[in-house]
Amino acid sequence: MESKLRSTLMASILWTTATAAPPASGPIKYTDLLNSTIPNAPTNLTNLFLPGLAPSELIQSSACKVYPEDANWPSDSAWEALNKVTDNRLLTRPSPQASVCYDGPLYDPEKCAELTATWSSSYSHYIDPVEMMSPVAQGMTCMPPNVFDSHNCTRGGFPAYVINATEPKHVQLGVNFARNTGVRLVVKNTGHDFLGKSGGKDALSIWTHHFKSIEYIEEYTDESLKWSGPAFKSGVGVQAFEIYKFAHEKGHSVVGGEGETVGVMGGYIQGGGHSPLTSLYGTGADQVLSFDVITAAGDFITANSTSYTDIFWAMRGGGGSTFGVATSVTVKAFPDHPTTASRFSFTSEKIGNETFWAGVRSYVDSFIPNADAGTYSYFTLIPNVWTGIFTFNMSPFFAPNKTLEETKALLQPWFTELGNLGITFDPNITHFDNYYDAWRSSFPLEVVSKVNATTSSRMFPRANFETADKREELYQNLRQSSENNRVQVHFNIKAVDPLNTDNAVNSAWRENILFAQQAVRWPVNGTAEEILRIRQEFQTGDMQRWRDISPGAGAYLAEADRLEPNFGQAFWGDKYDKLVELKRKLDPYDVFFATTSVGSERWKVHSVDGLPNENGKLCRVDAE
């Protein structure tokens, strides 16, 4: 009764706020679910699809989410009904891609060889309904044997059912079904998340990849967000390469990640998101003007500065899979800047360790001025234990809205030092007349799906670079990590929003000068105990050193380690308390969950091997 009342109320709100001529692909009214869609299910099952807030007492008090071995796992007819109401878009027990490598009906050695060859490319994973680019977080239960021998192929941390959603109502029905049955719900876009937050054993997954529409809005005005200018309304499945191209064709650019296949309108934008344009315009989340969202109650709403303002605040930085499932995002559009970029590298091979490190040390002096000038740099420090050689890769130095001369002038102080040290390198500084071409030429596709590594991160604030002593201390700590065989990836950027928007973005981003990542690796054949020990020692060792020299700073929630201690403070800083309060209010029954998401402390995945991955039941912590 209560949900019926709510729905009537909601329906009238949505009717009255609907614009005169909604596009054909526009909002599905709440009543469409109740009047035309749900009646397609057998009458004894319609309650599984009804919107509303409270699941049954049984679900509210059960220790774990509902699993196939439980008596109240939905019947086959319930899953069939879900398939029917979602226009036959339910995928049942989708096989892991590497099934083609193992005995069984899908065995196909040729396809297995193909998959093995392309395993490290993101292109062979985002197209799949379940695959995530962190197999370590999946539980490594079905891998191409020549990449990693999983001895067998089981679904492990992959979901049992996937809705291949293309319309908001598919998402509403999935959310309602999960909430009303107690089945675990996950959301997958591309699967890029470093922590594997798009997976969950035996879950129902909503796959948002096919929300691909992009609409150009010439003039969008929102006074309280201080924005009056062009915008794009983008489906949440849109990836970096798609929005950049579309924006370029309209003479614009948008803030998005460097990685070409990242789902910039999904986990990226809700999690904050850093970009080659971040030193100019802030984080991804700072660009959002409006979200279309399905809430935990199954409502389809618009969250913006005047409507559902608390969801709007929380979803700009609070992280994916926490407050709702977005179906579209409206973001600011910027001019398509001319851009100057440079890629180069040098190694310790001929010059020796001390000279090599002096070269790295001299670069640290440029971090504040370069970030303040609006530039971005992405560089790596790669150790090689076999040869004892270190490599520095600038990949790239990226200067949007800068001429060749301006860029050379910025790099000159450091290049002079490198010259004085006798370090030779070929900087190939190139000017492009637009962002899109500069981006395409400067960022090679990265390797994904590593089997024996995890990355952890730290946002080193301005305070770490303000004095020579502080710069020396920071440099010593980076060097120590290289000497401890950590692969390091660094971004010299600032992430200040010039419009100073109030949102849930990690307060540590606002102080950032160096966003730093280091990875721990372990023997591929290590036992679970060994791996866990190595990963824990990494957190208490090399990562703790980085935390110790940056007290109160944070880490980036989408490029982090599941073992990050005190993750609420690390991922959201002083925003965390408010986010937890909003989570309790907006999703009191934890319909949405992802490991290390806001409020996720109340739940734990009991993985079969005890490692931090998705291969196990999700249960309440207080039920232990």
Ligand X SMILES: Cc1cc2nc3c(=O)[nH]c(=O)nc-3n(C[C@H](O)[C@H](O)[C@H](O)COP(=O)(O)OP(=O)(O)OC[C@H]3O[C@@H](n4cnc5c(N)ncnc54)[C@H](O)[C@@H]3O)c2cc1C
Sequence-distant (≥ 6) Cβ neighbours of residue 380 within 8 angstroms: 391, 392, 393, 395, 487, 488, 489, 490
Burial of 527 (C-beta count, 10 Å sphere; 0-12/13-18/19+):
exposed
381-410: contacts with ligand X (CB under 6 A): none
Residues 22-52: b if buried by 16+ CB within 10 A, e if exposed: eeeeebbbbbbbbeebbeebeeebeebbbbb
Tokens representing 360 are 């790295």
Smallest gap from Cβ 51 to ligand X, in A, equals 18
Q: Check: CB of residue 271 under 8 Å from CB of residue 287.
A: no
Using CB under 6 A, count the residues that bind ligand X: 35
CB atoms within 10 A of CB 124: 18
Smallest gap from Cβ 23 to ligand NAG, in A, equals 13
Contact code string over 220-259 relative to ligand X, x by CB under 6 A: ----------------x--------------------xxx
527-566: contacts with ligand NAG (CB under 6 A): 527
**Closer by beta carbon to ligand NAG, 600 or else 615:** 615
Give yes or no for residue 306 binding ligand NAG (CB under 6 A). Answer: yes
Give yes or no for residue 190 binding ligand NAG (CB under 6 A). Answer: no
Give yes or no for residue 266 binding ligand X (CB under 6 A). Answer: yes
Q: Which of 198, 304, 481, 503 binds ligand X (CB under 6 A)?
A: 198
Tell how many helices (H) and how many strands (E) occur in the chain. 21, 20
Sequence-distant (≥ 6) Cβ neighbours of residue 598 within 8 angstroms: 314, 318, 319, 322, 323, 568, 572, 576, 579, 580, 582, 583
* Stretch in the footprint of ligand X (CB under 6 A) among 81-89, 184-192, 345-353, 493-501: 184-192
Give yes or no for residue 167 binding ligand NAG (CB under 6 A). Answer: no
Q: What is the DSSP string of 488-502?
A: EEEEE-----TT---
Q: Which of 192, 332, 402, 471 binds ligand X (CB under 6 A)?
A: 192
Residue nearest ligand NAG, Cβ-based: 388
**Closer by beta carbon to ligand NAG, 74 or else 272:** 74
d(CA 587, CA 319): 14
Smallest gap from Cβ 390 to ligand NAG, in A, equals 7
Q: Which of 268, 415, 546, 572 binds ligand X (CB under 6 A)?
A: 268
d(CA 82, CA 402): 53
Binding at 406: pick from ligand NAG, ligand X, none (beta carbon under 5-8 Å per type):
none
Query: Would you give the distance in Å from CA 457 to the centre of its chain?
Result: 14
Burial of 463 (C-beta count, 10 Å sphere; 0-12/13-18/19+):
middle
Q: Which of 16, 61, 88, 525 binds ligand NAG (CB under 6 A)?
A: 525
Give yes or no for residue 451 binding ligand NAG (CB under 6 A). Answer: yes
Smallest gap from Cβ 269 to ligand NAG, in A, equals 18
**Closer by beta carbon to ligand X, 144 or else 263:** 263
Give yes or no for residue 523 binding ligand NAG (CB under 6 A). Answer: yes
Residue 384, classed as helix, strand or coil, is strand
Binding at 279: pick from ligand NAG, ligand X, none (beta carbon under 5-8 Å per type):
none
201-220: contacts with ligand NAG (CB under 6 A): 210
Give yes or no for residue 193 binding ligand X (CB under 6 A). Answer: yes
Burial of 63 (C-beta count, 10 Å sphere; 0-12/13-18/19+):
exposed
Give residue 305's identity as a one-letter amino acid code.
S
Sequence-distant (≥ 6) Cβ neighbours of residue 170 within 8 angstroms: 86, 87, 89, 163, 206
Give yes or no for residue 594 binding ligand X (CB under 6 A). Answer: yes
Four-point Cα dihedral 605, 606, 608, 614, nearest 10: 0
Give yes or no for residue 317 binding ligand X (CB under 6 A). Answer: no
* Stretch in the footprint of ligand NAG (CB under 6 A) among 192-200, 505-513, 521-529, 552-560: 521-529
Give yes or no for residue 451 binding ligand X (CB under 6 A). Answer: no
Tokens representing 193 are 């998340």
Q: Check: CB of residue 27 under 8 Å from CB of residue 168.
A: yes
Binding at 547: pick from ligand X, ligand NAG, none (beta carbon under 5-8 Å per type):
none
d(CA 544, CA 434): 41
Smallest gap from Cβ 104 to ligand NAG, in A, equals 10
What phi and psi, each to the nearest 5 degrees, are found at residue 452?
Answer: -140, 40
Using CB under 6 A, count the residues that bind ligand NAG: 39
Binding at 237: pick from ligand X, ligand NAG, none (beta carbon under 5-8 Å per type):
none
Residues engaged in binding ligand NAG (CB under 6 A)? 17, 31, 35, 42, 44, 75, 77, 91, 129, 151-152, 154, 164, 166, 210, 222, 280, 302, 304-307, 352-353, 374, 388, 401, 428, 430, 441, 451-452, 483, 521-525, 527
Residues engaged in binding ligand X (CB under 6 A)? 122, 133, 187-194, 197-198, 208, 236, 257-259, 262-263, 266-268, 270-271, 273-274, 320-321, 325-326, 446, 448, 558-559, 594
